[in-house]
Structure 1
């Protein structure tokens, strides 16, 4: 058998004029190695510096402005998640706290634009389809998204140029980005997606720009710092910025690999460069991220509908807080108390004059997040029916009864399954009794102090407000008073379920006393209260709640989709519909599919190269192919890191979650176009014909579905012709027929695009609605107005 040929590499020369790619190989003692720095001439050719190219960029901007910024006044009503992000602007202006799963920066920007536009916070953005009054600067707010969409196009052009693409290729690829229908749609409305993608695009550009600068030069520091700033903006707008951070980390490792391979670069310089990169790309984003929350908390100084998610210590600093600042420390017989759950969202033990629809049919016991007379209970000894006329402390192991002040019924449990959580290990918790009834043994609970969680000292021996953490064990059955995230149905006012559990997570049976009044305590009796929280404590608590809520968005939704659906473009999202118009989020398939499936072609290409190398074949490469491989790999890595993590999530997901990944995929696609241009360099006609065909097809697809992006006029016939798949479930019957005799749409009137908005958030949001004010849901995903429960009768 003949010996296998040694693998060889050969370098193919490319044209010297206006070179944007370069690979300089130097000979070392043992091997050849590539230089890690580009020559000044090539760096210059990757920057927009000629008058001719500036005109080209101007044409690109004009094209983007025409597509992205026109007719933003239509529709003149609330679209999709403008319910939330317009509503959050209202709350910033009115200083009312809200809870959202996203960091605050992009929401702050919308609020700032609204404020500068004269918005007084007198429009609540309550429902999709609500018509904007004249005093709401909604067009100005939409322009923020639109101009950021234009900025994203510019960042793509500059990123492709800085990474080695010729002006014509960068212009062509950026033009495709302009007419990507999905990106057009999200850049027309008051949504977080356009600012997020703008910041991610800026991060990518400034980092790529820093790569071609001489290390430790002013430009090198400047562009790394800008990359850190835009990464901070990304992180502070959505946690998707963490995926961008991961990409930057991997891109730096990839860069470091080549720098280490450059034998002319000393080790100390490599270490110094790595340290500065870490400082700028981690330190700056961290500062911006924390500062955005500082501004957020400084502006929201009044309790709003989101305050129910927070601890009482957090709420204490709100100007209108009703949380008691101090209370009697010692709890005893005849104390009138409010009891809070330590975990879940920390609601108060609550009852009201409503009965279970199921189980025993007795009076409901729930958790409720707002201060209310129905949270108040009187402490009794299990074997006493008369007032003690003296203070008797409640010690560890004391058997007590809790009498509900408003309804005069006692906390009760028995061997009956709960109406909702019908588990064998859970008993119903209820209120039971009637006038003159002295109680029965099923009203008896034993106080068990959790010593390792209670404050040191006397709080571990007897009940103390705030300081003592305790459990309530039912004397007859041995179950513990317990609560979890499950909410009762409408008949339970959607409040959080309370049961008596013999199993389950132990911390869900932990309680403490927030307010305590006892007439038998002396006037100078010791007082206690919450300690004020520092900014950092609030910062940590807020993030725990955001994470908890985000993970709780698991309800099924009519327009949700999974990551595999995104690259296939199986379906979109209905944003708004008012016959004869509709807004529906859907991508441009001519751009979407090649970008999304480029990873398959590139993976096959790498497999072929590896096999050729292993088999001893000569692998020819050029400056162009080296640049293609380096940046295509880097950008596809960005696509992967912004896409794959969603496969690991159980929460609701929607098509718009794919857009940051799509941006990186189109960047990689641009380098594929650059390679094609290099291959057919001597036959430019082929390249121009190919690019022209792709652009014409993309432009056709864009205009074919443009009415879905901007809600313009359409017909049933054109709508049906645009449907390539059944999953594209926009309603063609919303539109009139072309026939003048039958031009009325089948479905007249306004609708919300088929959303079951309540289903997305009720499992966790409903328990935190304040029945004393009209609120909307405050979780920033495709959800909608949540019905306000009826106020308890006091």
Structure 2
């Protein structure tokens, strides 16, 4: 989808492109493509190599500047900044082989751990608090920060090369690269221990590899064709293995591939139609290279993740007991105790950590919405240890079961010890959920007669086997009310004052919901010298990789979607293209220094404006065609729709889906889309000034039977030269504005020097919530 009908870069093998006749037989090229390739080659053969060196010199200078801007002053500040508390901590856990849980896939975090391993760090510092000193704790933080800085610096030449490989002129390549090079947000995000540098670099490599793959369309299934297809797939796997928003890159490439395959399927193609077996080969090759192989690489990083993290750690609580049995030194499993009938136990909710609790107070006669309650004894969730959290496990029949273990799927009753009442659920709506059942307790005489069945509950151990022993801590279970088949459930929304703002307990009809899970936190009735408390050595078990992977995937998606709480620096997607607000990363009161995550306003506004211009150009062109006015030649239109359109598609696919998300969102989520907007901006610079490679492209003009007379070429070359001069002038103006904006906001990006009140006020362009503004 690069839109280039033949590369304007010099062919290294000096070979003549395949003839139209042969290529048409393969169903992969057109006479126009072959003619254009020959013309391009002839023109470039007659030119000096100076044009190629112009690109190479510009690429070298831009790459050098990228490294300078990303690495300059990288040791400041020498303390933990913003989300370094998370990703630095994860690197330390890897180095100590301690299991942790995170909502992001492991690839980016493994790179940080690799850097720590390279420099011989032991991971003893856990990045607990923003502002903790790296120097005092002897942390090789510069090495950690060097990893994203390296990837961030390399992203800039990749952007340049995307434009170069797509056949754009040097001013267009420089503009796109410099919009990323001199962007404060890209710089700020790549100088800290954060994942976005890896994500953006992999996304840029995906676009570059696909452009190079598409340029090999004349020789399908050749060595280079396969190489760039597989590299595109590998880059895609790196994107999604860093953050799940990497799926947007899959959608971008998938859309381009779908358009390409749709064209290959057309029986009326001017190249000649493909047979269905040949089309199936094209489809299968893309499916393998862009779906199957990336998926296996994605699995590979999780295999590395599990292979490293073999010790019990803070991530244990997110996983099932079966998963935890694969970890050494697991405290929960080591301290698990069999639960016997008539034990007093404390039941704790796995997700909210609230205890099952009851007290003598009653539900009110009517709730605020007018519904009537049973006025029974309140059953709530309480977050602290209390005598009212104690429940006795009573068997179904009071026979001689003292000392017998409770087992999976057995029916039990729970007696509230303090009030001597029995837990019960019945067909009365709960306080907050009219569709869920109320939980209450009833006196013993009722529990043994009229309400006996309503007091029966099934112990259903998660992933448990029939007859499995019910244990504390490790025996995570769902308490299923036997007559009505609802699961005991709670949530964090507090009840009103009549329940002391404790948690609501109710019966959930959705038994499969993961938040129905509870566990026995403690058995207070067991004497300290009981043989049941004697610990026996536990052998680490093995669980199949895919089973562990599926469990971790479910937990990651669930907790990622649960990130809906408010944050003072969260922002909505409509704010991002206009840079309406940023994020405070770090402050130091004594020196008045601060790091405020913010893009270069000038660069962002230029790129966002030209996105709207591009949409307007397409609309105007379609309207003109409807009215019979063809204002563009075929080559320009092909470039506009295919190449620039591909970049615009990348922007749209990396931006629009955020409007569908309900989780917390921040400005850094826009960085991949901003990179795509920089590509659109460079492409439109060339379109607006109509700069073309100096070749005879009459083969693109409808109805042209032969090349234009050679006498016309000097005039065309003169016009193209004049347009190129104008393009350079426009580039100079735009770069002056962009570099000015970058330099003006540098103190907020690098964190020094500290700014005076007037200097801070001068940078609050759109009311940015900067510190030290007064």
TM-score relative to the length of structure 1: 0.74
Once the two structures are TM-superposed, the CA of residue 253 in structure 1 deviates from its matched residue by 2.0
Structure 1 unaligned blocks of 5 or more: 1-12, 520-528, 734-745, 747-794
Once the two structures are TM-superposed, the CA of residue 350 in structure 1 deviates from its matched residue by 4.2
Once the two structures are TM-superposed, the CA of residue 321 in structure 1 deviates from its matched residue by 1.9
Are positions 1:234 and 2:239 aligned together? yes
More divergent stretch after superposition (67-76 vs 388-397): 388-397
Once the two structures are TM-superposed, the CA of residue 243 in structure 1 deviates from its matched residue by 0.7
Query: Equivalent residue for 1:380?
Result: 394
Counterpart-to-counterpart distance in 2, 1:395 and 1:217: 60
Query: Equivalent residue for 2:748?
Result: 708
Query: Equivalent residue for 1:780?
Result: none
For residues 469-548 of structure 1, what are the structure 2 equivalents within 5 Å? 471-473=479-481, 482-486=488-492, 497=503, 499-501=505-507, 505-507=510-512, 533-548=543-558
Query: Equivalent residue for 2:595?
Result: 583
Counterpart-to-counterpart distance in 1, 2:659 and 2:478: 40
1:589-640 deviation digits (Å, cap 9, x = unpaired): 2221232343322222122222222222234315344223211111111111
Once the two structures are TM-superposed, the CA of residue 215 in structure 1 deviates from its matched residue by 1.8
Counterpart-to-counterpart distance in 2, 1:231 and 1:292: 13
Query: Equivalent residue for 2:647?
Result: 635
Query: Equivalent residue for 2:342?
Result: 334
Q: Contact 1:585 / 1:708 at 8 angstroms: preserved in 2?
A: yes
Query: Equivalent residue for 2:326?
Result: 317
Once the two structures are TM-superposed, the CA of residue 566 in structure 1 deviates from its matched residue by 0.8
Counterpart-to-counterpart distance in 2, 1:111 and 1:48: 44
Query: Equivalent residue for 1:149?
Result: 152
Q: Contact 1:351 / 1:431 at 8 angstroms: preserved in 2?
A: no
Counterpart-to-counterpart distance in 2, 1:291 and 1:155: 26
Q: Contact 1:355 / 1:361 at 8 angstroms: preserved in 2?
A: yes
1:223-281 deviation digits (Å, cap 9, x = unpaired): 11111111111110001111101111111123334545342463344432332122111
SS in 2 for 1:65: helix
SS in 1 for 2:208: helix
Are positions 1:243 and 2:248 aligned together? yes
Query: Equivalent residue for 1:288?
Result: 297
1:73-96 deviation digits (Å, cap 9, x = unpaired): 001111111010001111111222
Once the two structures are TM-superposed, the CA of residue 50 in structure 1 deviates from its matched residue by 4.1
Alpha-carbon distance change, 310 to 497 in structure 1, aligned in 2, over 3 angstroms: farther
SS in 1 for 2:655: helix
Query: Equivalent residue for 1:130?
Result: 132
**How many equivalent residue pairs?**
692
Query: Equivalent residue for 2:271?
Result: 263
Counterpart-to-counterpart distance in 2, 1:472 and 1:626: 64
Query: Equivalent residue for 1:791?
Result: none
Counterpart-to-counterpart distance in 2, 1:392 and 1:190: 50
Query: Equivalent residue for 1:663?
Result: 675
Q: Contact 1:339 / 1:348 at 8 angstroms: preserved in 2?
A: no
Once the two structures are TM-superposed, the CA of residue 446 in structure 1 deviates from its matched residue by 2.6
Q: Contact 1:348 / 1:375 at 8 angstroms: preserved in 2?
A: no
Alpha-carbon distance change, 191 to 357 in structure 1, aligned in 2, over 3 angstroms: farther
1:162-209 deviation digits (Å, cap 9, x = unpaired): 111123421232122100111111011111111100000111101111
Once the two structures are TM-superposed, the CA of residue 354 in structure 1 deviates from its matched residue by 11
Query: Equivalent residue for 1:163?
Result: 166
Query: Equivalent residue for 1:648?
Result: 660
Counterpart-to-counterpart distance in 1, 2:361 and 2:742: 55
Query: Equivalent residue for 1:765?
Result: none
Q: Contact 1:426 / 1:499 at 8 angstroms: preserved in 2?
A: no
Are positions 1:401 and 2:414 aligned together? yes
SS in 1 for 2:206: helix
Counterpart-to-counterpart distance in 1, 2:210 and 2:757: 47
SS in 2 for 1:612: helix
Query: Equivalent residue for 1:107?
Result: 109
Alpha-carbon distance change, 398 to 203 in structure 1, aligned in 2, over 3 angstroms: closer
Counterpart-to-counterpart distance in 1, 2:270 and 2:311: 58
Once the two structures are TM-superposed, the CA of residue 497 in structure 1 deviates from its matched residue by 4.4
SS in 1 for 2:543: coil
SS in 2 for 1:681: helix
Of 713, 717, 738, 1:698 maps to 738
Query: Equivalent residue for 1:718?
Result: 759
Q: Contact 1:327 / 1:516 at 8 angstroms: preserved in 2?
A: no
1:267-297 deviation digits (Å, cap 9, x = unpaired): 3444323321221111221111101111111
Are positions 1:277 and 2:277 aligned together? no
Alpha-carbon distance change, 180 to 432 in structure 1, aligned in 2, over 3 angstroms: farther
Are positions 1:194 and 2:197 aligned together? yes
Of the two structures, which has the highest relative contact order with CA contacts closer than 8 Å and spacing of 6 or more?
A: 1
Once the two structures are TM-superposed, the CA of residue 116 in structure 1 deviates from its matched residue by 1.4
More divergent stretch after superposition (389-398 vs 140-149): 389-398
Counterpart-to-counterpart distance in 2, 1:309 and 1:692: 54
Q: Contact 1:379 / 1:403 at 8 angstroms: preserved in 2?
A: no
Alpha-carbon distance change, 301 to 656 in structure 1, aligned in 2, over 3 angstroms: same
Alpha-carbon distance change, 309 to 18 in structure 1, aligned in 2, over 3 angstroms: closer
Query: Equivalent residue for 2:532?
Result: none
Q: Contact 2:311 / 2:327 at 8 angstroms: preserved in 1?
A: yes
Alpha-carbon distance change, 48 to 149 in structure 1, aligned in 2, over 3 angstroms: farther
Are positions 1:618 and 2:616 aligned together? no
Q: Contact 1:181 / 1:588 at 8 angstroms: preserved in 2?
A: yes
For residues 674-753 of structure 1, what are the structure 2 equivalents within 5 Å? 674-679=686-691, 681-683=720-722, 684-713=724-753, 714-726=755-767, 728-733=768-773
Alpha-carbon distance change, 381 to 712 in structure 1, aligned in 2, over 3 angstroms: same
Q: Contact 1:567 / 1:593 at 8 angstroms: preserved in 2?
A: yes
Once the two structures are TM-superposed, the CA of residue 303 in structure 1 deviates from its matched residue by 2.2
For residues 551-570 of structure 1, what are the structure 2 equivalents within 5 Å? 551-570=561-580
Once the two structures are TM-superposed, the CA of residue 326 in structure 1 deviates from its matched residue by 12
The root-mean-square deviation of aligned C-alpha atoms, in Å, is 5.1
Once the two structures are TM-superposed, the CA of residue 718 in structure 1 deviates from its matched residue by 2.3
More divergent stretch after superposition (292-301 vs 45-54): 45-54
Query: Equivalent residue for 1:221?
Result: 226
More divergent stretch after superposition (166-175 vs 541-550): 166-175
Alpha-carbon distance change, 414 to 612 in structure 1, aligned in 2, over 3 angstroms: closer
TM-score relative to the length of structure 2: 0.76
More divergent stretch after superposition (160-169 vs 69-78): 160-169
Counterpart-to-counterpart distance in 2, 1:43 and 1:227: 27
Query: Equivalent residue for 1:779?
Result: none
For residues 344-493 of structure 1, what are the structure 2 equivalents within 5 Å? 350=355, 365=381, 378-381=392-395, 400-402=413-415, 412=423, 446-449=455-458, 471-473=479-481, 482-486=488-492
SS in 2 for 1:216: coil
Once the two structures are TM-superposed, the CA of residue 351 in structure 1 deviates from its matched residue by 5.6
SS in 2 for 1:119: coil
Q: Contact 1:36 / 1:258 at 8 angstroms: preserved in 2?
A: no
More divergent stretch after superposition (389-398 vs 119-128): 389-398
Q: Contact 1:472 / 1:480 at 8 angstroms: preserved in 2?
A: yes
Q: Contact 1:48 / 1:54 at 8 angstroms: preserved in 2?
A: no
Counterpart-to-counterpart distance in 1, 2:337 and 2:733: 79
Richer in helix (by share): 2
SS in 2 for 1:99: coil
